[in-house]
Structure 1
Amino acid sequence: MPAPSITIQTTAPATKSETWHFYTEAEHVINWNFAGKGWHCPKAVNDLRVGGEFEIVMAEKSGTMKMELEGTYTQIEPHSHIEYTLENGRHVRVDFAEADGGTEVSVTFDPAEKMDNDEQRKHWQAILDNFRKYVGQVEA
């Protein structure tokens, strides 16, 4: 029996339209899609359409480790909803909703089987927190 999905969220200090732009365009993704200070995102390719694919590379700045994330979009409602399937079959859903002070971004994902759920939540939340910080810096 698969583990229940995990949901993380943050509020980005921007409009839904701006938040969508920062979340989906590769030129912005490379600036926030990594979990910690010792990491970066050297590559992001994004074909944002149903059936389109994406590739994101997160790597340690020291060059000792990297992680590639690839998937295919299955549902897109501009400025409000994205769903995709990762290459390993896991499902991810991202929702954007107006909130006090900006836009709430909620990410729900199927956890990987061989990793502790709390660790996965922590890493995905760290990436989403980087996103919120990046939006705040761009908007400042």
Structure 2
Amino acid sequence: METLNNSSITVQAQVNAPIEKVWETWNSPQDITQWCYASEDWHAPYAENDLREGGKFRTTMAAKDGSFSFDFGGEYTSVQENKLIEYVMEDGRKVRIEFTDQAGTTQVVETFDPETTNTVEMQKAGWQAILDSFKKYTEAK
């Protein structure tokens, strides 16, 4: 289904953890493989992350039953430790993630350009589900 809305999409979560822990969990490949999926029947069997301007990342997301997988990757355009990550996905879409310290908790706001295959609602729900998975994993870690 072609989406006609080209404005950016935003998802967010309030993570009950200090910003340093949130930053580390967001960026550590070992942690990424524990949270980067939208539902329990998916997982992330592989992640690599070169967190620096010009650095690249790649995460493999796969159905646990082996029926489907894909790589999600891009290149960082801006990295400000414990504050901001910006990157360009391999298809040219841009993503901005802001981390805000709020007295022991951390606000994570992720804004991204939509793609044209799925509806805006579907994309927002999928990215929010992954962010919710991150929140759950980080708070339990």
TM-score by length of 1: 0.95
Q: Which of 119, 126, 132 matches 1:123?
A: 126
Q: How far does residue 120 in structure 1 lie from its aligned partner after superposition?
A: 0.2
Of 41, 45, 55, the residue aligned with 1:42 is 45
Deviation (angstroms), 1:99:
2.6
Displaced runs of 4 or more, over 3 A: none
**1:1-140 alignment runs, 5 A limit:** 3-99=6-102, 102-138=105-141
In structure 1, C-alpha distance between the alignment counterparts of 2:16 and 2:47, rounded to whole Å: 23
1 CA distance for matches of 2:137 and 2:50? 22
For the residues of structure 1 that align with 2:41 and 2:104, how far apart are their CA atoms? 30
How far the C-alpha of 1:2 sits from its partner, in A, is 6.6
Give the number of equivalent residue pairs. 138
Structure 1 unaligned segments of length 5 or more: list them: none
What amino acid maps onto 1:82 in structure 2? Answer: I
> Helix, strand or coil for the counterpart of 1:30?
helix
Local SS of the residue matching 1:97: strand
CA contact (8 A) 2:19 2:104 kept: no
Deviation string, structure 1 residues 4-59 (Cα, Å, up to 9, x no partner): 00000001111111100000111110000000010000000000000000000110
Contact kept in structure 2, 1:11 and 1:101, CA below 8 Å: no
Please tell me whether the aligned partners of residues 61 and 70 of structure 2 are also in contact (alpha carbons under 8 angstroms). Answer: yes
1:64-90 CA-partner distances (Å, limit 9, x unpaired) = 011210100000000000000000000
What secondary structure is seen at the aligned counterpart in 1 of 2:53? coil
The one-letter amino acid of 1:115's match is N
Letter in 1 for 2:91: N
In structure 1, what residue type is equivalent to 2:23?
Answer: W
